[in-house]
Amino acid sequence: MSDNRYRMSREKHEELKAELEHKENVERPALARRLKAAIAMGDLKENAEYISAKEDQGFLEGRIKELEDLISGAIIMEDIKTVTVVEEGFDEEEVYQIVGSSEADPAERKISVDSPIGKALNRAKKGDKVTVDVPGGSITFNVLDVS
């Protein structure tokens, strides 16, 4: 088991477990059959199918290890916060979901609880004014709602 801890939603945890199960029970056996067939072709040094299958096996086993690490180190975030803000100097409302780092996706307005903005908004309450230092300076948000 890993000493690393990863915050994530229950949904993300279940998604990772399903991916791990698929990789172990579907992809790994299929790859084993592929390797066996490639070995049967003989001369492993110049066997492109064998070399390709061994590379794929390395990637597959690496991903399985990564999934096991994420799952065993999971800290389930029971309450995923949704924060509605207006950035100072702008009129448009923005809605952010505060999630674990493994599911952060700024394009989807999902920000990591471990990021500077995520930390600040995770502590915020409705009506708060929150200023966050970021690499380009600082950003101030007016918090309209927290759910």
Mind listing the pLDDT tens digit for each residue in 78-96?
878 999 999 999 999 999 9
End-to-end Cα distance, the chain: 34
Mean pLDDT of the chain: 92
**CATH topology for the 6-76 domain:** Helix Hairpins (1.10.287)
- Report, as an integer, the average pLDDT of 19-30: 98
Which residue ranges make up each domain of the chain? 6-76, 81-146
pLDDT for the residue 36: 95
The CATH code of domain 81-146 reads 3.10.50.30
pLDDT confidence of residue 80: 82
In this prediction, residues 44-72 reach a mean pLDDT of 94
Biggest CA pair distance of the chain: 71
Q: List the 81-87 sheet strands across, edge first.
A: 110-112, 93-99, 81-87, 137-146, 129-134
pTM equals: 0.73
Task: State percent of the chain over pLDDT 90.
Answer: 78
